[in-house]
Amino acid sequence: MDRILIEQLRLSAIIGVYPWERRIRQPLLADIELHADVAGAALDDAIDAALNYASVADCLRAVVEASRFQLLESLAEHAARVLLDSFSSDGLRLTLTKPHAIGRARGAAVAIERRRAETPRRVWLSLGSNIERESSLRAALRALRERFGGLLVSSVYHSEAVGFDGEPFYNLVVGVDTDVSLAELAGWARQLEAANGRVRSGNKFDARTLDVDVLTWGHAVGDFDGITMPRDEILRYAFVLGPLAEVAPKERHPLTGETYAALWAGFDQASQPMRRIDFDPLA
């Protein structure tokens, strides 16, 4: 298998277990070895067929600089998952070095090797409705179950409309395991909205029978066919983060690396009040 190497990429992060290390950013160095077939790009001399080194570096930099891990091992593991889900690589070797971490040593490092998982990737979707709420959400979950099989479904939450004056919403999040592309999944979600009477006026704050948004696509970070992952609403809205923290408390946000439970604990919940309701959309 061919190898693509990026050596001594300079990064910075909040990393470490001591109190002073939680207050400042420290320098890190990254060495990345991606396993990828470069024959097609080499044969055609075509940039479109090549793995974009700059994009790999930018992705790793974004993840590392947004993270707040204590252990270098945890940061390396999380970053490896992100890179494998974000780029066409069968496997990788990632070395993260913390310069001058030990006296009389140039640095301390962690090196890990990982292969792409053969199992389908976990995808989280946000569902919302403020028109015919119960019937719309039930119809959406029926369609999701028919298309993807088993579902992981949060409770349903009642929340006020955000950004406009309108009827309150019912919101929940749904997890599915799939190997479809992000573009295909997003297109299917738009079709599901339309099939349930969603009319798009161009105003993102309109009332709607059904809103289906792809929140995460595995651990992918970046822009894929014009779709940015992870969706920024996860960190902005209680009606997204709260249900995620309920149904997937130990899963980590692809960019920051924090668990959804920790993110929810640090969220200003009083600023966006919502309440869990006694409604089973799968019934």
Query: 168: which DSSP letter?
Result: P
Q: What is the DSSP string of 214-260?
A: EEEETT--EEETTEEES-THHHH-HHHHHHHHHH-TT-B-TTT--BH
Angle between helices 182-195 and 133-148 (to 10 degrees): 140
Determine contact, residues 208/176, Cβ cutoff 8 Å. Answer: no
Question: Is the peptide bond preceding residue 230 cis, with omega within 30 degrees of 0?
Answer: yes
Rounded Cα–Cα distance for residues 164 and 205 (Å): 6
Q: Is 250 a catalytic residue?
A: no
What three-state secondary structure class fits 19? helix
Catalytic: which of 98, 133, 252, 253? 98
Count CB neighbours of 64 within 10 A: 24
Rounded Cα–Cα distance for residues 88 and 107 (Å): 31
Rounded Cα–Cα distance for residues 58 and 53 (Å): 9
**Burial environment of residue 223 by CB neighbours within 10 A (0 to 12, 13 to 18, 19 or more):** exposed
Residue numbers annotated as active site:
98
